[in-house]
A and B are shown apart, each in its own frame.
Chain A
Amino acid sequence: MIRKTFENEIQQVKDEVLLLGSMVEHAIIASVETLKKRDIKGAEKIIAEDKEINKKRFAIENQLMILIATQQPMAHDLRLLASCMEIISELERMGDYAKGIANINLRMGEEPLLKPLIDIPRMAQIGTDMLHRALSAFINEDVEAAKAIPVEDDVVDALYNQIYRELMTFIIQDPKTIERANWLLWVAHNLERVADRVTNICERTMFIATGEFNEIKSSDDEFWKGQKK
């Protein structure tokens, strides 16, 4: 096989993207776990670790630019490297959502949770599970999986809507809960966005494999449609 060196370098980049993905998965799960336990030390650790996620993203970006500059990738190679650029930025933003949840945990201070967290950890579980499988689909260029995973975003959206309505009833019953309800709403919103970004990764995977851009769907629109009278 000619271009063995290049092949190896591409493989290294893919491994790094996977590693970044697992850092992000871990951060999302940990952010919700520490919130559930109101573990302040844990939240601080997540915020510190987000710096590592950002660093990793820039390291991969640099690696990608070097490959593009030195190897002049074409066709499939080009689509792969260009898409990696996109995917690592999606992952970094997902890391920011985890950091955002950890920040909310800190901001809540001594205030107890408005309610025990049940649906929020479910959202985190489903979102990270989707992310995990989306990254395998990316590595294996599994078009079928990349098409199927975004459909699951509906479940996450449904949970988000449910949490939204539930928190609204808290606020209506007792307006003093506004701030605590708002914190949880932000947490849920962050998790809802995680699933949206998984969809973007799946779109990239399909592009790498087929060379065609296809927007799968925008669940942002779905949500706002749900809010209309």
Chain B
Amino acid sequence: MQNTQTPEYAIETKSLFIFYGSFAAVSEVTMKIEKQKITAIIGPSGCGKSTLLRAFNRMNDFVPSSYVTGEILMQGQNLYGKEIDPVEVRRKIGMVFQKPNPFPKSIYENISWGAKINGFKGNMDELVEQSLRSAALWDEVKDLLKKSAYELSGGQQQRLCIARTIAIQPEIILMDEPASALDPISTLRIEELMQELKKNYTIIIVTHNMQQAARVSDYTAMMMIDDNRSGGVIEFDKTQTIFTRPKDKRTEDYVTGRFG
């Protein structure tokens, strides 16, 4: 298949460094994330994957000593610019965490709460249904909307968290090991859901599970620490290339399980 269209990018980084105090946890990352594609970030523990992911929606701001240099651009705007409201950034760029973390409220309120805070004025019932449908959860919970989210299984809770993220109508969804606490069937359900979601959203996922990265993503960024223990992207390419003929020896060693 030939695709002559020039790709559109949802977000890009330019010479991005992420510091914790004087320590550069992530160094010199310059990458463009294609719109409505799934980009996986892989690499050994401690290579800065999650740090990089959290930089995209300014979650690192909560770590007091952290700061970035360089730029993260969304539609040409630097997300770390002075005039930028980090809350607004997090509305546009949602996040799903490793462990499902629903609010201790009803299923319905888990969806409606964020929307209400964000000033949603439309039909709330519709938004809840639509969000739950998009997260492939509606059929399972449509008669339980008043029940506590805690009564759901882990896999269902994670899909609820995805529905909650979608309800805010973000442009990008960040996923930090979204299936690592789930059983294999729930994992596959999340992966299948991601393929649906990418029709409307750009997804960036951090995963330890290389097979998962290979299964779900369109692009893969391989991260590794350098001699100063600072993480960087050593190879970024189409997922099919990374897993069949990577260029960098370190990527080869990692994806074939010979790293370490």
| Residues in A lying within 8 Å of B, measured CB to CB | 1-3, 6, 72-79, 210-212
Contacts and interface: CB of A to CB of B under 8 A. Distances in A.
Contact of B244 (A3, A6, A72, A78): A78
Contacts of B214: 74
B258 A79 contact: no
Nearest to A207: B245
B234 interface: no
Nearest to B211: A72
A75 B243 contact: yes
B33 interface: no
6 contacts: A2-B258, A73-B256, A74-B243, A75-B245, A78-B243, A79-B245
Contacts of B256: 3, 73-77
Nearest to A74: B255
B245 to A, nearest CB: 3
Contact of B257 (A2, A210, A212): A2
B246 interface: yes
A13 to B, nearest CB: 15
Nearest to B253: A75
A206 to B, nearest CB: 12
B244 A211 contact: yes
B119 to A, nearest CB: 47
Contacts of A75: 243-246, 251-252, 255-256
A211 B245 contact: yes
B210 interface: yes
Nearest 4 interchain pairs by C-beta: A211-B245, A74-B255, A74-B243, A3-B257
Interface string B238-260: 00000111100001100111111
Contacts of A74: 210, 214, 243-244, 255-257
A3 B211 contact: no
B194 to A, nearest CB: 20
